[in-house]
Structure 1
Amino acid sequence: VAYTPVKRPTATGAPQPNPNAPQVFTDLDQAPAPLQPAIRDLAELGVLPTTGDRLQPNIPIRRGQFVRWLVTTYNRFYADRPARQIRLGSRNDTPLFQDVPPDHPDFPYIQGLAMAGFLPSSLTGDTSALFRPEAPLTRETLLQWKVPLDQQGRLSPSTIDRIQQTWGFKDSQRIAPTAINAVAADYLAGDLSNIRRVWGETLLLQPQKPVTHAEAAAALWYIGNGTEGLSAAMVKQAPPSPS
């Protein structure tokens, strides 16, 4: 398999299936042991853009950085299926968020995911004009953004009561209304759910707790609904697409 060096986002708006070279993180041993295999798989695919060779696994990930990782990983997983990929935003697009202008390094990813309807924006009826790309990502927001991709956009309306009946979280009442459907849908993936894979067996979601780099990467290791999906381990073992 031939790899090319890491490239900066382009202004074409076209997805970039695999622009990254394999990565080796010198501080991977600082990540929680259960998450290290998942991070290693993703690093081999080169889908976790960082500065240098350090992942800094235990510091909170920025919202903008997570969207970059999410779109890069999703498009890499579906590199051989262009119809399933997220189209990147073009720098000629009118920005959907006031604090993410076209010259922002994460603009193509944030704009593209929002234009596809997977991020709340004016296109989906959200009244906020700010994205807050530098703010820490929270657990409930990670689920709100990723689970729709896992479920291919099909989220059924749910309730706090339903979450309490399934997950049994003692802090269910703290989940933001905008994240309820995603948290409920994540349960359907069983042991492949984001919550179980990242945080294990727990009776506390801690929905507003910041997500670390290691946790964000572990969540991205699998994209799917538990019945149909792809893992980083599957993708790295797949033969290269014919040219």
Structure 2
Amino acid sequence: MSLPSVEIKNASLEDNKLNESESSQTTPVSAPAHSLTIEQSKIDCDGMKDSIPDFESPTPRSSFSPVGIPAPSAVSADLQVHPGEVLVPAVVDQFQGQALAALRVLKVIEAEALPGELCTRREYARWLVAASSALSRNVVSKVYPSMYVENVTELAFDDIIPEDPDFSSIQGLAEAGLISSKLSNQDLLNYNRGPVYFSPESPLSRQDLVSWKMALEKRQLPEADREILYQLSGFIDIDKINPDAWPALVADLSTGEPGIIALAFGCTRLFQPNKPVTKAQAAVAIATGEASDLVSEELARIEAESVAENAVSAHNALVAEVEKDVNANFEKELSIEREKIDAFEKMAEEAKRELERIRAEREEENMVLMKDRAAISAETKILSRLRREVEEQLESMINDKVEISYERERISKLRKETEDETQEIVRLQHELEVERKALSMARAWAEDEAKRAREQAKALEEAREQCERQGVKVVVDNDLHEESVAGDTWVNVGKQVAVEGTISRGETLVGKLKILASEVKGKSREFIDKIVQRIQYLISVLRKWASDAGAKAEELKDGAVLKARGSVQEMQQTTAGFSSAVKEGAKRVAGDCREGVEKLTQRFRT
């Protein structure tokens, strides 16, 4: 450091001393300390080079800090690297543990926070704002969480955005001017407009622990330089401490009671400003100052609860001792009762053995009874099985008997139906025989009459030939000639027969047919009646013709000579008419007989 800078420093110290004498609120540092500092500042330049640290900044801030400057918030290079695993845990004294427990109860610190864990910058900022809102009784000293208005609110740090969960707490500390940020650095002469980072996940250093808390507690920090800080603290590593943190350290060390440094770090000559702190140390820092009253009350309440718990424990111990005495007496009486119980148990054992013997005898008897019962049960099962078999056989026999009776009834019914059908067949055969007999009689009669007609025609032919030989010419029609020379069939009857013989034979045949018709019934009788009607019709026709022929014969007798030719022709006509009548009747009878035979044959087949 150059000589002009030392002179400027001495002048500044003298001015500060005058200001301190005029105002008692400027700093609590004692006058001897300042006089010592002034005397030391008058040492020559050579001695000052060895005792005064060499700061790069040429401004007066290298030797002292103006009043009210925000606490430093920049993270050192050592803390920017994430620390490794804690191999040897930090020792937590009783006061630190009580402070952490009290702040847990007061909802300032989370319940899951452990005293030996390292505290991050994010957590400490959140706890400071929460403690200010919950523990501060003076409204003027409260710090409220900040809000964010888009396009209006300026971010204090480049790495703390509105989406950060602790944005309101960190931004609130920066906007209150308690920690240095882009908002507070704008008023500095050497302000660098580069990015400013808060590094919320980095461990909290000792320097930040004290400076942030004292900036919140003291509205006006004292002026400080290296000599004052060294005189109050005796730290041998002051050169490593940020000069912006000197006023906060001086303010903490100048209090009449133990401050944050004493309570958190104990007796030490190495401040180690960049060393991480634990959550228990952060709790002690938060519990000091204005919040100490509430924390003390909470600790008193916790102590009262502890005393109450101790009293309860003592009472429980007394109760346990009384219970021990009672248990001893109880054990004594219990031993006496146990002796009695042993005696009763021996008697019970003897009775038990006797009961066992009786039980064994009863079991043997029961075994015999069980065997007999098993034999009876087996025989009962056999009898039941035989009974079921007999019942099944009886049921089968009954079913067979029912089936046999049913078959008998069915066979008898079939036999009766067969007999009825046999009788019907016999009846039909009888009727068929009667019909055949009637047909054969009618056929025989028709054939006889046809034979006689042919004989008569032959006789007439011979008579015609004889007449022709005698000179009488007889002309015979072609039809009559053809019929006279027809073949000998059962359907052609003779042309010239004796009418009376034919009629008598026909009546005889009718009588026989009526006798046959009286023997049958139904369709056979109707069929024979039809044959009788045909024959009777033929007989009536023959009778009519015979009467006509007789009348004509009388006429022929009168004119036989004169009308020989006419007589012959008349005879021929008469003979032709008779022959045609006989032929037609024979054909009808033959046709009816044929139809009747076909019907009977068809009926017999069905």
Q: TM-score of the superposition, structure 2-length normalised?
A: 0.31
Q: Measured at CA, do residues 112 and 235 of structure 1 come closer, stay the same or move farther in structure 2, by a change above 3 Å?
A: farther
Match of 2:98 among 16, 23, 37: 37
Q: Which amino acid aligns with 1:232?
A: V
Q: What displacement does 1:235 show? A: 6.6
Confirm or deny: 8 A CA contact 1:171 1:206 kept in the other structure.
yes
Q: What displacement does 1:229 show? A: 6.5
Match of 1:196 among 244, 262, 269: 262
Q: Measured at CA, do residues 59 and 237 of structure 1 come closer, stay the same or move farther in structure 2, by a change above 3 Å?
A: closer
Residue 150 of structure 1 is matched in structure 2 by 217
1:124-163 to structure 2, matched below 5 A, reads 124-125=184-185, 127=192, 129-151=196-218, 153-163=219-229
Confirm or deny: 8 A CA contact 1:158 1:180 kept in the other structure.
yes
Q: Measured at CA, do residues 56 and 237 of structure 1 come closer, stay the same or move farther in structure 2, by a change above 3 Å?
A: closer
Confirm or deny: 8 A CA contact 2:133 2:143 kept in the other structure.
yes
Confirm or deny: 8 A CA contact 2:232 2:254 kept in the other structure.
no
Q: Which amino acid aligns with 2:113?
A: L
Residue 68 of structure 1 is matched in structure 2 by 126
Q: Measured at CA, do residues 114 and 236 of structure 1 come closer, stay the same or move farther in structure 2, by a change above 3 Å?
A: farther
Confirm or deny: 8 A CA contact 1:155 1:181 kept in the other structure.
yes
Q: Measured at CA, do residues 36 and 91 of structure 1 come closer, stay the same or move farther in structure 2, by a change above 3 Å?
A: same
Match of 1:232 among 282, 295, 306: 295
Q: Is 1:166 matched up with 2:229?
A: no
Residue 214 of structure 1 is matched in structure 2 by 280
| Cα distance in 2 for residues equivalent to 1:196 and 1:190 | 12
Q: Which amino acid aligns with 1:43?
A: R
Q: Which structure is higher in RCO with an 8 Å CA cutoff and minimum separation 6? A: 1
Residue 89 of structure 1 is matched in structure 2 by 146
Confirm or deny: 8 A CA contact 2:113 2:279 kept in the other structure.
yes
SS for the counterpart of 1:207 is coil
Q: Measured at CA, do residues 208 and 58 of structure 1 come closer, stay the same or move farther in structure 2, by a change above 3 Å?
A: same
Q: What displacement does 1:162 show? A: 1.0
| Cα distance in 2 for residues equivalent to 1:132 and 1:116 | 19
Structure 2 unaligned regions, length at least 5: 1-90, 187-191, 302-606
Residue 181 of structure 2 is matched in structure 1 by 121
| Cα distance in 1 for residues equivalent to 2:116 and 2:244 | 27
| Cα distance in 2 for residues equivalent to 1:32 and 1:77 | 23
| Cα distance in 1 for residues equivalent to 2:236 and 2:294 | 30
Residue 16 of structure 1 is matched in structure 2 by none
Q: What displacement does 1:58 show? A: 1.8
| Cα distance in 1 for residues equivalent to 2:208 and 2:246 | 10
Percent identical residues: 30
| Cα distance in 2 for residues equivalent to 1:141 and 1:166 | 19
Q: What RMSD over aligned residues (CA atoms) do the two structures have, in Å?
A: 2.3
| Cα distance in 2 for residues equivalent to 1:33 and 1:236 | 11
Structure with greater helix percent = 2
Q: What displacement does 1:237 show? A: 7.5
Q: What displacement does 1:170 show? A: 1.8
SS for the counterpart of 2:289 is strand
| Cα distance in 2 for residues equivalent to 1:122 and 1:230 | 35
Q: What displacement does 1:123 show? A: 2.2
| Cα distance in 2 for residues equivalent to 1:179 and 1:158 | 9
Q: What displacement does 1:100 show? A: 0.4
| Cα distance in 2 for residues equivalent to 1:89 and 1:60 | 26
| Cα distance in 1 for residues equivalent to 2:297 and 2:180 | 30
Q: Measured at CA, do residues 43 and 229 of structure 1 come closer, stay the same or move farther in structure 2, by a change above 3 Å?
A: closer
